[in-house]
Structure 1
Amino acid sequence: MTVFQLPSSTAKTTLTQWHNGDMARLDPTSLQLFIAVVEEGTIAAAAEREHIAAAAVSKRISELEAYLRTQLLTRTNKGIEPTTAGFALLALARRALHELDEVSIQMQEYASGVRGHVRVFANISAITQFLPGEIKSFLAEYPQIQVNLEEKISTAVTKGVAENAADIGIFVMQPHGQQLEVFPYHEDRLVLITPVDHALASRESVSFADTLDYDYVGLHTGSTINLQLQNAAGESGKRVRFSIQVTSYDALCLMVNSGLGIGVLPEGVAKTYVKTLGLRALSLTDPWARRELKICVRTFDALPIAAKLLVNHLKQQ
């Protein structure tokens, strides 16, 4: 058995090139050629398989041995066989090339939007009425995309998108002073809820002004609904009497059910609690009770592809 090596002059040239930086690190091409030589058993066969000159394959193998400072192949009467180090490199090289393939595949998935991470800020009305089903159908189509959803009041939604804290925002349309692109989303309608024994419970509809003699259960300070109620009350020369304020729709409904006051919330949310708690829901006749929910982004063209896919999905709903 003789050691596989290039002629001494070639080896010397190769070593000089390597020391001069021709092969400063391992590269996928050299590993692929090494694998081909081992699998085919000869340099000529490996060169034919990889569509490259045999001399170039030989040079690559020599550089690889010089870089690793160990003998990788031996020549026998049957062809070329790997040394112990060569067998070890064969396993490592196959694993490394497989991982590189995975890198390429996964990056292509990110580039196409199949993979990704999308940050969404949305107000409670969108979260409770529309987003659960819409995000579910989106993730069924794109299971490798992660959606991070946070509840925010509408003013915080637009501010967060403008400051790049979120990719996408969903808010109740109102002046916001931010430079954003805005798209249509859904409409919702606010209704009044009361206990079944309340003085207003027998009505089908009511104007907001006619409710201001009664105590209210309100949402937390800064919520869009509270601001709408306070603005509407101010226009009629009155104020909303909040007996208590809570941080969620379910808490509001429970407080209304216990007789602590009446409340206002979106019709889609009210339907659930009307059934489960036996509350009454009355239509509000005021124009402001019909609201537009919007999608906002900083710039649609600058969004990651995954975020663009989600925006388009939400718009289609």
Structure 2
Amino acid sequence: MRLDLTTLNLILAIEQNRSITKGAAREHLALAAASKRVSDLESRLGVQLFERRARGVEPTEACRALVRHIRSLHASLHALESEVMEFARGIKGHLRIAANSGAIAECLPADLAAFSQAHPQIRISLEDLTSAEVQAAVAEGRADVGVFTPPLLDNRLQHWFYRDARLAVLVPAGHELAARSAVSFSDLLDYDLIGLHAGASAQELMREQALARGRTLNARLQVRGFDAIAQLVEAGLGVAVLPEGPAERFSRIFAVRLLRLDEAWGARDYCLGVARQERLPTVLQRFVEALCPQSKTIEPTEKARKPA
């Protein structure tokens, strides 16, 4: 069944105005022609889209569902138009990247800058998501490539080792643990923990580790952004576990102490993943090879297959 854009735009206009007359006027259609389009569409779909009232119309649940898809279609068409028009300005490709907060804070910016300098005609967009959300976005086609921490949750992806990293601990400068150089995770469970929002990989990992010890994670404060975490730690509201890179930077800016996390699971990998396909588009292949030069054959490494 084919749905033409004129009719779909008419449905959206009627839903927004709660009037067939006003919807038809907005879409520059005669009232009789607009009414026929609505009736024909209702017949083809087998549902009623509007309930006729004395002072207009009211959309049914079926109509509201259809309108959601129409709005999504408009967004896709706008993105399509914008991306195609970029070719007229000399842009030769658009790379949509999704990455978790740790990768964005630790290692990704420098690599993106180097790639952009080497390929100025490729436009890059970047979205900050949790590792699980990154994998879903790539698998569902909402992103071309993702950077995340293992484990791999979706077998629709192929992935490579990108960078290794460590988790570290921040405590207030005057904290009773501040005199130590390293702490175990058990040492931290007696204190309030400041972390990222639920779903962030480090946060979920800490929750699992606390449960394994028969303890409860005192996650009193959860925020978006490592800088906010560091400021809350400085204010004495708790301690935090976060990637070593940003933790080290914050220890020079805020009144906090950087401690080593003495746990094997404190070492973790960042992986780069794409949707499985026989041949990667040229832009995507160049990006993979630039960030994972050890994977020139575009094959996942053994290291990337191991869960963190």
Question: What is the TM-score with the length of structure 2 in the denominator?
Answer: 0.65
Give the C-alpha shift of residue 218 in structure 1: 1.8
Give the C-alpha shift of residue 308 in structure 1: 1.1
Give the C-alpha shift of residue 239 in structure 1: 1.1
In structure 1, the residue matched to 2:173 is 196
CA contact (8 A) 2:184 2:262 kept: yes
Q: 1:130 aligns with which of 107, 119, 141?
A: 107
Give the C-alpha shift of residue 277 in structure 1: 0.5
What per-residue deviation string (whole Å, max 9, x for no partner) do you get for residues 199-227 of structure 1?
A: 11111111101111111112101111110
CA contact (8 A) 2:163 2:270 kept: yes
In structure 2, the residue matched to 1:243 is 220
Q: 2:199 aligns with which of 216, 222, 239?
A: 222
2 CA distance for matches of 1:144 and 1:294?
25
Q: 2:272 aligns with which of 271, 280, 295?
A: 295
Give the C-alpha shift of residue 271 in structure 1: 1.1
CA contact (8 A) 1:229 1:240 kept: yes
Q: 2:131 aligns with which of 142, 154, 162?
A: 154
In structure 2, the residue matched to 1:119 is 96
Tell me if 1:315 matches 2:307. no
The letter of the residue matching 2:159 is V
What per-residue deviation string (whole Å, max 9, x for no partner) do you get for residues 16-46 of structure 1?
A: xxxxxxxxxxxxxxxxxxxxxxxxxxxxxxx
In structure 2, the residue matched to 1:46 is none
The letter of the residue matching 1:148 is S
Tell me if 1:140 matches 2:117. yes
In structure 1, the residue matched to 2:142 is 165
2:161 partner SS: strand
2 CA distance for matches of 1:215 and 1:153?
22
After superposition, the Cα gap between the structure-2 partners of 1:268 and 1:186, relative to the gap in structure 1 and judged at 3 Å, is same
CA contact (8 A) 1:115 1:142 kept: no
Tell me if 1:274 matches 2:254. no
In structure 2, the residue matched to 1:285 is 262
Runs of 4+ residues deviating >4 angstroms: none
2:151 partner SS: coil
1:149 partner SS: strand
2 CA distance for matches of 1:301 and 1:251?
43
Give the C-alpha shift of residue 301 in structure 1: 4.3
What per-residue deviation string (whole Å, max 9, x for no partner) do you get for residues 94-126 of structure 1?
A: xxxxxxxxxxxx79xx9xxx8211111100111
The letter of the residue matching 1:235 is A
Give the C-alpha shift of residue 156 in structure 1: 0.4
2 CA distance for matches of 1:243 and 1:303?
44
Give the C-alpha shift of residue 177 in structure 1: 3.2
2 CA distance for matches of 1:187 and 1:300?
26
CA contact (8 A) 2:139 2:154 kept: no
2:162 partner SS: strand
CA contact (8 A) 1:300 1:308 kept: no
Q: Determine what percentage of the aligned residue pairs are the same residue.
A: 35
The letter of the residue matching 1:160 is A
* Bigger Cα displacement from structure 2, 124-133 vs 174-183: 174-183
Give the C-alpha shift of residue 278 in structure 1: 2.8
1 CA distance for matches of 2:259 and 2:149?
21
In structure 1, the residue matched to 2:208 is 231
In structure 1, the residue matched to 2:229 is 252
Give the C-alpha shift of residue 300 in structure 1: 5.6
The letter of the residue matching 2:121 is Q
1 CA distance for matches of 2:279 and 2:143?
13
CA contact (8 A) 1:158 1:178 kept: no
The letter of the residue matching 1:289 is G
1 CA distance for matches of 2:182 and 2:247?
14
Tell me if 1:177 matches 2:124. no
Question: What is the TM-score with the length of structure 1 in the denominator?
Answer: 0.63
In structure 1, the residue matched to 2:20 is none
Give the C-alpha shift of residue 236 in structure 1: 0.6
Give the structure with higher Rg (CA).
1
Give the C-alpha shift of residue 307 in structure 1: 1.3
After superposition, the Cα gap between the structure-2 partners of 1:174 and 1:239, relative to the gap in structure 1 and judged at 3 Å, is same
CA RMSD of aligned residues (A): 2.0
2:160 partner SS: strand
Structure 1 unaligned spans of 5+: 1-105
